Structure 1
């Protein structure tokens, strides 16, 4: 198959989940392209062109770092490719991690991907679904209440204080738009720095307040779903516990220094997946990350979920073969059904 990965910036991309998936797609003999989010070119009345790199079949490397160093090297030139010639466009850029001077990059990939999807190219995740869920913390609120902590979304300080009292004078505040554990604060009984925190967050837009879950001190669990099911390979499931080395730190993001550990499937996680999956399947989500504390889902990542790059070092399979095989299978379905299946149906089809 011909697959193009869209990432934020090839030069600065870390060797995370996007790169290990890119490498596996290449190793399985596919025609693999990679592009920056700024590489779309539109001309009215014609398919979009993509300013991208086609990875040559001749690369020699010993690990993922060596692989991606060669991809970034200037000896692999950028070329212009017709998007209509692709089988798959895989959006792996994370809009919520864009810097202030790159606001243009936040929505553009999804907007162009919707146009490419209309040309008949398979887009993962479904571009319309990603557009609907662009504020993923708001999309999260569409899920059943029984699996979520109590929450409030507002820009009103007094409403936040009322929620704080209702929640036993302990709550977590964070911007409605954002990721990676940035700008996340715990407000406890002392209400320390509340006014300063409110002032800082309000400049970023809406604020989400969540009930504080005491077991967050034990870390959270990232559950990776594919086609509405827990990603599995060789009888092992992609369930990763993230524990911060500092017990006083309630955030468990790997990007903030948390340690990854394998975790078991619990009845509570099974229930969360069972109640989340129907909506994800209906909406056309192929690859999704769920963050769980105890029996509650605290966050959902539908834009650019990560975690696969930590799997091998904690004794799990890397799962990338299973993911790429699933994409190849969707391309086969698309061919055999002669384009009668919608992108949304194909995106979440097992």
Structure 2
């Protein structure tokens, strides 16, 4: 198959989950292309074109690090989007900053148009457009599996919610990722007003009930077609343990990886969330869970595969690419009878 991975920008990509999936697609004999969100070109009279780096078919095996180095040194060539079998949206809009505001919606926007031309797009681009702020999508899920929360731009509402929660809450920007600008506000915080005003100046703020169990870390679960991935008898579950004096369990902030079992509480959360993900065509999704509560959902660019390897788990990229191969096969056999959302989460 011909598959194109969409990244924020090739030059700044790190050796994480996307590179592992790119590497696996090549190793399985596919024609692989990689582009940034600034590489699309719309033509009114012909299909959208894409400038992309190409990894030609070959028997040469590379490590993920070698693959990243290779694609970052390749000249870009122009391809026709409708020649692709799959467009895999792996860019994260929340990581775009400053002068790259234009890039926030570009991947999803062009992804919608390419999807409408008949190319399989993962995750479903129309769903991603509707769930562009994944924290709002999160709030549409059943209440009993989530902490209490408030989304507002009103300081008075935030302070009232703070009192309702016993003067302890977590604050974070509605559009953010990687644990950046996330604060625990309690009686010991002397800069509460400054923190609130700074966050409000940037946009909407989420106030969330603080879960004491977060001190033991949270659990990242990667779902494929609404199910926990399994390779070599191992499940795609990893515990992220925060560093000393830190309550945020983000790898980008120094958290360490540890193993975790699939608990009954986790299974219940997954069983509740999965039907919605399947209905919406959300093929590859990350869930962050603390004890019996879902605290975050990542629809846009779930990852962490490089940390799975560090604790003896597979990186699970084989499962992802094998699942995409099946979807391409289904698409060919049904000759257009199955829509993108259906194919996206068909196991």
TM-score normalized with structure 2 length = 0.98
Which moves more between the two structures, 196-205 or 297-306?
196-205
Aligned equivalent of 2:216 = 218
Structure 1 runs of 4+ aligned residues shifted over 2 Å read 56-63
Shift in Å at residue 45 of structure 1?
2.6
- Report the Cα distance in structure 1 between the residues aligned to 2:285 and 2:64, rounded to whole angstroms: 23
- Report the Cα distance in structure 2 between the residues aligned to 1:244 and 1:313, rounded to whole angstroms: 16
Question: Quick check: 1:289–1:306 contact (8 Å CA) kept in 2?
Answer: yes
Aligned equivalent of 2:52 = 52
Question: Quick check: 1:227–1:347 contact (8 Å CA) kept in 2?
Answer: yes
Deviations 1:173-209 (A, max 9, x none): 0001110000000001234211110111012110000
Question: Quick check: 1:59–1:67 contact (8 Å CA) kept in 2?
Answer: no
What is the number of equivalent residue pairs in this alignment?
Answer: 347
- Report the Cα distance in structure 2 between the residues aligned to 1:121 and 1:164, rounded to whole angstroms: 47
Question: Quick check: 2:108–2:129 contact (8 Å CA) kept in 1?
Answer: yes
Shift in Å at residue 275 of structure 1?
0.6
Aligned equivalent of 1:90 = 88
What's the secondary structure of 2:198's corresponding residue? Answer: helix
Shift in Å at residue 77 of structure 1?
1.8
Shift in Å at residue 7 of structure 1?
0.3
Question: Quick check: 1:60–1:67 contact (8 Å CA) kept in 2?
Answer: no
Aligned equivalent of 2:5 = 5
Aligned equivalent of 1:29 = 29
Matched, 1:347 2:344: yes
Aligned equivalent of 1:249 = 246
Question: Quick check: 1:61–1:67 contact (8 Å CA) kept in 2?
Answer: no
Aligned equivalent of 2:167 = 169
What's the secondary structure of 2:6's corresponding residue? Answer: strand
Match of 2:324 among 323, 327, 332: 327
Aligned equivalent of 1:15 = 15
Which moves more between the two structures, 159-168 or 116-125?
159-168
Aligned equivalent of 2:75 = 77
Matched, 1:260 2:283: no
Aligned equivalent of 1:338 = 335
- Report the Cα distance in structure 2 between the residues aligned to 1:300 and 1:328, rounded to whole angstroms: 25
Aligned equivalent of 1:314 = 311
TM-score normalized with structure 1 length = 0.97
| Structure 1 portions without partners, runs of 5+ | none
Deviations 1:48-75 (A, max 9, x none): 00011111235856521122111211xx
Match of 1:123 among 102, 108, 121: 121
| Structure 2 portions without partners, runs of 5+ | none
Which moves more between the two structures, 51-60 or 287-296?
51-60
The change in CA–CA distance for 1:139 and 1:128 in structure 2 (over 3 A counts) is same
